[in-house]
Amino acid sequence: MRLPRRKRKPAPRPPDPAPNEQMAASKYAPYLDELAATSIWHMSTRLPRLIGLAWTWAWRADRTDTAATIGLNLAAGVFTAVGLFAVTGVLEPLFTGGPTPERVRAALPSLALVAGAYAARALLQAGAGWAQARLRPQVERLTELHLFDLTSRIGLEAFDDSEFNDTMYRARDRGQYEAAQVITSAVDVLTSMVSITAAAGVLAVLHPVLLPLLALTVIPDGWAAARAARMRYERIRDLTPGRRRKWALGDMLASRDSAAELRAFTMRGFLIDEYTRISDIERAAMLAVARRQTVIRLLGEGAGGVATAVTYAALGALLVAGAMPLAVAGTAVFAIRTAQSSLSTLLFSLSATYESGLYFSDFLEFSRRAAQRLPDAPTARETARLAAVRARGVVFAYPGEQTPALDGVDIDITRGEVVALVGENGSGKSTLARLIAGLYTPQSGSITWNGTDIAGMDPDALRGRIGLINQEYTQWPLSAQRNITMSAEADGTRLEEAARLSGADEVVTGLAYGWDTMLDKRFVDGADLSGGQWQRIASARGLYRDADLLIADEPTSALDARAEKRLFESLHAHAQGRTVLLITHRLASVRMADRIYVLEKGRVVEHGDHENLMACGGLYAELFRMQAQAYEEGAPLTHDTGSDTAVSSPLAEKTPGLTH
């Protein structure tokens, strides 16, 4: 069985993947390629859609703050235009003839208007900034909750699909936070555009030739900004494999899972050296980019300066030729300065919006794919207590696998029975248990609950009737009690009973804070348990649920002999009035089962009770005799028989250290 993985033993990531592998596995390749291919045309076609989508998230998060952000920014832009026009009103009287006091007096109303307009703009911008700052955490909250709502509801198959996992990783890693960033940068785009439009409008009114001159002053800056941004994208793309490697090394250097082996194998020096080597390459590359960006910017600024000089020369020429009054020229200078500073904001925020937008599209893509993987609405209302579960012609292959894990399986489980599944490793026992638990859906054939196909039942209602003792249980970072009850409420009697039956009571007695002890060392006063102690907790979890059907998948693999015996007795006792589906390689424990199904390569090859199966002399009889022989002769334990059912010995129960 492969899912879900236990947290304490994650598959270690190889410290030194081959360069090709690093490149192929680059999680960032999709958008980095796109960033590198960024052209003005490409940006202008994608940006409006991305911005629109980000705004819909903002709208859903908080309508008032969204409306305030847009409305107040637009209004601030209007006051920029008003202020600019008012500047002409100030300059005109100042540059006309007459005594100075009178000229100043004549300019005063317009001066008041300029001051008023800029004060109003400052107030509006402050309000817009406030609304925008309020919006950000609300959007982030919404996208985070949306993501986890989907990840916790989608079908389990999704987690077996590597492509889907990549999408999910990208969405979680950064995508979910970028909606807020797109909004922030889009607001900057909006405000700078409003400001540029205001300045351009003023210039067009002042003199038609000023508009193309404005364009001339801003083009070099625009070019330099685009070049510098693209340079950075390309460098980041080149550095991605190294960065991923660095993250992997960082995980190993700062994770509890690897902390023990890191020390035991004195890996520290090697890992730190490797980390430093990659960091040095990265640092050198980024410093080189910074240098080249400075050169590009200087070139842009230089060319922009020349263009500005040309503009001012043109203004001077217009003045000399008498085509433009001095006051108008003064306003034009003011408007050009305003437009230039807004333009640099615009260019910066445009590329920031686009970059965030690409990460944000990862989030959108994940949402789209996850929505396709949500279970269909239930078609059946069946929630009655279990009378019988039947599997008929069940065929199931894991996503991306050619060979089916189950190939035409029929089994029956009737209320009150203990039914056992036995067979070699990989024969399909756990997969069948998961299908019966409604965690996967067969590709063909059916599994019915009291005659109703479980595919049409409400998954939560079905799961509420099933208890699962999973071989690869989860070690929840919760208290001992909640690790068993799996909810805030606890039924004291049931908890005591489940703990007694599984042996978890002995574990809890030894904990500093009893039931309230946090079972995770990473938290204050957290405790750590051994594998066997954890398995007792996991068994108690399955037994606590007052389920019609208890599925126990290798529930004793880490238990000592005494605990194992106690648990099997508990399971048989538990079956009185209930039903148990038991998967185990301890054949002595399935002897008492009402029915035993022997699986081989995804098919049921034998079934019946112990006596029948022994009498027919097939695979079960062979495996059972192998174990019995080991018991009788006290033969050395052979763990590598290729079979789940041929590795146990009575010695294991008597001799400490020989249990599995």
What residues make contact with ligand ADP under the rule CB under 6 A?
1-3, 160, 398, 401, 405, 423, 425-431
3-state secondary structure of 267: coil
| C-beta closer to ligand ADP: residue 198 or 436 | 436
* Residue indicated by tokens 């290798």: 554
For ligand ADP, give the closer residue by CB, 189 or 419: 419
Q: Are 561 and 653 in contact (CB under 8 A)?
A: yes
**Closest approach of ligand ADP to the CB of residue 641, in Å:** 14
Q: How many whole angstroms separate alpha carbon 618 and alpha carbon 641?
A: 17
- Measured CA to CA, the distance from residue 418 to residue 308 in angstroms comes to 88
CB 399 to ligand ADP: min, Å: 7
| Nearest approach, Cβ of residue 600 and ligand ADP (Å) | 10
Query: Based on CB atoms, which residue is closest to ligand ADP, 136 or 429?
Result: 429
Beta carbon of residue 581, minimum distance to ligand ADP (angstroms, whole number): 13
Identify which of residues 70 and 593 has a Cβ nearer to ligand ADP in the complex.
593
DSSP-assigned beta bridge partners for residue 518: 479
Q: How far apart, in whole angstroms, are the C-alpha atoms of residue 449 and residue 388?
A: 6
Structure tokens at 118: 């800029």
77 versus 428: smaller Cβ distance to ligand ADP: 428
Residue 38 or 427 with smaller CB distance to ligand ADP: 427
DSSP per residue, 397-452:
--TT-SS-SEEEEEEEEETT-EEEEEESTTSSHHHHHHHHTTSS--SEEEEEETTE
If the CB atoms of residues 89 and 602 are measured against ligand ADP, the closer one turns out to be 602
Considering the complex, state which of residue 522 and residue 639 has its C-beta at the smaller distance from ligand ADP: 639
CB of 149 to ligand ADP, least distance (A): 23
Beta strand 444-449 with 452-453: parallel, antiparallel or unpaired?
A: antiparallel
Residue 396 CB, nearest approach to ligand ADP (Å): 9
Q: 223 vs 398, which CB is nearer to ligand ADP?
A: 398
CA 382 from chain centre, in angstroms, equals 34
Give the nearest distance from C-beta 406 to ligand ADP in angstroms.
Answer: 8
Distance CA 227, CA 55 (A): 28
Residue 203: other Cβ atoms inside 10 A = 23
Please state the closest distance from residue 6 (CB atom) to ligand ADP, in A: 14
- The residues near 524 (Cβ < 8 Å, ≥ 6 apart) are 518
Largest CA distance in the chain: 125
* Residue 266 vs residues 13, 173, 253, 616: alpha-carbon distances, Å: 17, 31, 12, 56
Minimum CB–partner distance for residue 430 and ligand ADP (Å): 3
Residue 117 one-letter amino acid? A
Count the Cβ atoms, other than its own, within 10 Å of residue 471: 20
CB atoms within 10 A of CB 483: 25
